[in-house]
Structure 1
Amino acid sequence: MDKMQYDNYIKILKEELIPAMGCTEPIAIAFTAAKAREVLGQIPEWMVIRCSGNIIKNVKGVVVPNSGGQRGVEVAAILGVVAGKADLELEVISQVKQEDIDKTRTLYSQGICRCELEEGEENLFIRAELKAGQETAAVEVRTKHNHIAKIEKNGQVVFEKPDIVTQESGDKSKLNIKDILEFANEVSLDDVREIISRQIKYNSAISKEGLTHKWSAQVGQTLLKFGSNDVRIRARAAAAAGSDARMNGCALPVVINSGSGNQGITCTMPVVVYAEELKANEDTLYRALVLTNLLSLHQKRYIGNLSAYCGAVSAGAAAACGIAYLNGADYDVIGKTIINALGNVGGIVCDGAKASCAAKISSAVDAGIMGYEMAKRDLVFQFGEGLVENDYEKTIQNIGRMGRQGMKSTDVEILNIMIGK
């Protein structure tokens, strides 16, 4: 593989597969508020959190980690102000103490924070505005959950970087199935071992937590009642259980994919379960996860991190490709697996982060596995059937266009329903 492309893929993995604690959107709010508190230099007397619709949608239904069971934008922001450490980024509230939880409850009850919908902004936008006496501070995060785009102090802009600097970042426009497969086959594992081993460790731990204790709707545990001897069910259960715990405020960190912990778990756990079943060696598992993560990122780059399109679908399809890789699949089987998976569940909507995400993950992984079982028998949905093309890349692009452009009005309607408009 060309060295420039090789280095680019390594950059992408290092940037994208990072730890986060809890649902990523409330954590991003806590991070933004914690940074604003740092700039202000004191606890604010008043604060406003302005968010794009997709941020509000993904915060409304989940428990904020380390909050003592509290939910909502205001709670995430206040906890970030009270106890957040901005330098920890997406683990910003990992060091909360009981007194911080108590103080958050008190400040919330006093109504010091309000949330406002910021219309006309991109899907990932958060602005925290804080005031104490005559002092003010504001911080904006946009594009990525940990990308600070602007900092203001007393009305003056003191820092601004609205766009992510591409030369410092991996170029996801260079992703394609053929090169991803070549990279997975050829990558020196020493270049990715730390990233992938952390992903396995963290995501396996939260999956185990979800399968062991009673979190949320217990989708993972329910699945195992269907037949724990079936590897397909175990793969679905392992992924769903991680989401069960995460959506209900479990404080264990996860390694994300496409800015999402749920998608990170979905990319990881089905492949880990199948590797155990097949007794695959560690090197093969690592290569399968490299493939899975990059294929998920490849699909999501056409859609964006936040939309009305459920990202678990992309991750579930990618996980099935990782399973195919463990079984020695070639380029065509992997491409057909993607077509079969997306041709099946490509219309699942995202109506916010919540307990049912675990069930959607299970459905996406199930569709992916069925897609692989079809593909290895040379069965594939045909060109002209809906959004499916003969060309694997074109099919991914079609789904991406539908998710980004076609579902814009769906996204607005979902948000209006959720906020009671």
Structure 2
Amino acid sequence: MLYTDPCYQAYIDILHEELVPAMGCTEPIAIAYAAARARDLLEDEPERVVIEASNNIVKNVKSVVVPNTGGLRGLRASAAAGIVAGKADRVLEVLADVKEAQHAQIKAFLDEKDIEVVESNSGLVFDLVISLYAGQNRALVQISHYHTNIVLMLKNDTVVYENQDCDEMATNSLTDRSLLNVQSIIDFAETVDLAKLRELLQCQIDYNMAIAEEGLGGDWGANIGSVLLDTWGDDVKIRARALAAAGSDARMSGCDLPVVIVSGSGNQGIAASVPVVVYARELGSDDDTLLRALIVSNLITIHQKTGIGRLSAYCGAVSAGCSAGCGIAWLHGGRFEEIAHTLVNALATVSGIICDGAKPSCAGKIAASVDAGILGYEMYKRGQQYYGGDGIVTKGVENTLRNIGRLGRDGMRETDKEIIRIMLGDNSPFPAEK
């Protein structure tokens, strides 16, 4: 791809927009970030807090540990941590600097203050409003569409900031993702000047491998990585799955190590990168080859999620794990034909995995999705594939990806509602939190 191609700079910009550090599951961290912004705006300790959240946010906050809180979970704990100890200028690392001594202060705020959670009626998949009250004063921060997209800030009746002119794709503030396609992604990965992305991708390697190693070495979540290795040994195909799963287990259980996210998700960031790094080290790939393979995996993940949406009943680990298979194909010398077949084969295998919120079982779903990505490539090498007309598979990788987007975005909308009803109880839109 020539540097004059409109996709060239756009793809660089997309990677810089998507590959950002975050500490903890991104939905509770978004709550903490909004709460910290609102506290700074209020300029006083709030007496009352109202959290207005869409159901998909609740789904992804309910079961994960909020990092640096001493093991607390839920929407109220996320907001309390942001208010008491968050640093809003750290954005998705808003809780990174919380001291252990502040855990008790967070717990006291949670126990003593009136923190109300109500359901958003905006109709948006991702919508969060934090309102803080102190005496006659009120501060409000609203985040919509994605985790850092502040669309409204109010101090009493004064609008401090407003940007409501954006849809879910937020094309006015983010680079146009409709430019993405598999052929162009591969051309870009092969030709881009790596100096423009090396530091970004090295950060992804360093952060995501560190939490993966921590996940294997510690006792986190369901310890899926250790189970895989203990059961099937240390072959690279198992190790790639195990380390990715271990990173997720640590992250879901409150590990305070940061992750470089993809498409708004740390689990997707881990699944898209860790297996590729594991394979590169096994193969003895040079640094540049690894970086180009990560570009393939990251951008194909983002491409898939553009059609599906950031939050859905369709598990994002599927998108990332199958894309990791594409990055692994690249490491073995595969280009468009190999990668396209790998992706379609993998998606045809695991596209039925649902998202029922962030929690330890995400690690198992990551392991299954990475396995499908590896299987997709091994199928291609042996002359095996799924054909157009086989279920949701259609001739041509982009046509199949459009079907996946339609399935995740439209077809699973009612599934998403039913999942939330099952998780939260038919008679209560939001969980009782302790």
State the TM-score, normalizing by the size of structure 1. Answer: 0.98
Give the aligned length.
Answer: 421
Q: Give the structure 2 partner of residue 33 of structure 1.
A: 35
Matched, 1:236 2:241: yes
Q: Does the 8 Å CA contact 1:53/1:119 hold for their aligned counterparts?
A: no
Deviation at 1:108, TM superposition (A): 1.2
Q: Distance in 1 between matches of 2:165 and 2:181?
A: 24
**Equivalent in the alignment of 1:66:** 68
The whole-number CA distance in structure 2 between the counterparts of 1:95 and 1:162 is 31
Distance 2:223 2:335 in 1: 36
Give a deviation string over 1:36-91, Cα, whole Å, max 9, x none: 11110111000011111110000000000000001000000011001111111000
Moved more, 16-25 or 113-122: 113-122
Give the distance between the partners of 2:165 and 2:76, measured in 1 at CA: 27
Q: Does 1:46 align with 2:51?
A: no
1:224-373 maps to which residues of 2 (within 5 A)?
224-373=229-378
- Contact 1:333/1:378 (<8 A) preserved: no
| Structure 2 equivalent of residue 55 of structure 1 | 57
Select 2:137's aligned residue among 135, 138, 145: 135
1:158 alignment partner AA: V
2:209 equivalent in structure 1: 204
For the Cα contact (< 8 Å) 1:226–1:233, is it kept in 2? no
Distance 2:424 2:286 in 1: 49
Is 1:380 matched with 2:385? yes
Is 1:409 paired with 2:411?
no
**Separation in structure 1 between the aligned mates of residue 127 and residue 36 of structure 2, nearest angstrom:** 16
Amino acid at match of 2:425: G
Paired residue for 2:91? 89
Secondary structure class of the residue paired with 1:347: coil
C-alpha contact (below 8 Å) 2:47/2:113 kept by paired residues = no
2-side partners of 1:142 and 1:397: how far apart? 25
Counterpart of 1:372, as a letter, is Y
Q: 8 Å contact 1:49–1:113 — kept in the other structure? A: yes
| Aligned residue identity for 1:23 | C
Counterpart residue number, 1:100: 102
Aligned partners of 1:404 and 1:368: how far apart in 2? 22
Tell me whether 411-420 or 113-122 shows the greater mean CA deviation: 113-122
Deviation at 1:378, TM superposition (A): 2.7
Cα separation, 1, equivalents of 2:172 and 2:53: 28
- State the secondary structure of the residue aligned to 2:130: strand
Mapped partners of 2:303, 2:38: distance in 1? 33
2:10 pairs, out of 4, 8, 11, with 8
User: Which letter maps to 2:60?
Assistant: N
**Structure 2 letter corresponding to 1:125:** D
Higher mean Cα deviation, 112-121 or 385-394?
112-121
Per-residue deviation, 1:178: 0.3
In the alignment, residue 271 of structure 1 is paired with which amino acid?
V
Distance (Å, rounded) in 1 between the aligned partners of 2:66 and 2:157: 30
Query: Which residue of structure 2 aligns with residue 398 of structure 1?
Result: 403
Query: 2:429 maps to what in 1?
Result: none
The residue matched to 2:288 in structure 1 has which SS? helix
Q: Percent identity?
A: 52
Which runs of 5 or more residues in structure 1 are unaligned? none
User: Which residue matches 2:430?
Assistant: none
Q: Which amino acid aligns with 2:8?
A: Y
CA deviation profile, 1:125-174 (whole Å, cap 9, x unmatched): 11001100000010000111011110011133221112456465321100
Equivalent position SS for 1:65: coil
Code of the aligned partner of 2:285 = A
**Equivalents in 1 of 2:123, 2:199: separation in Å?**
36
Q: 1: distance between equivalents of 2:293 and 2:416?
A: 33
2:180 alignment partner in structure 1: 175
Please name the residue that 2:77 is paired with: 75
What residue number does 2:218 align with?
213
- Encode CA deviations 1:229-265: one digit per residue, 9 max, x unaligned: 3111000001000001000000100000000000000
Post-superposition offset of 1:118: 0.9
Contact in 2 for aligned 1:49/1:116 (Cα 8 Å) = yes
**Partner in structure 2 of residue 110 of structure 1:** 112
| Separation in 1, partners of 2:152, 2:400 | 37
Distance apart, 1:24 and its partner CA: 0.5
- Give the counterpart of 1:155 among 157, 161, 184: 157
1:17 maps to 19
* Aligned CA-pair RMSD: 1.1
Partner letter of residue 178 of structure 1?
Q
Secondary structure in structure 1 of the residue aligned to 2:148: coil
- More divergent stretch after superposition (296-305 vs 163-172): 163-172
Look up the SS of the partner of 2:307 in the other structure.
coil
Unmatched 5+ stretches in structure 2: 427-434
CA–CA separation in structure 1 for the residues paired with 2:235 and 2:165: 46
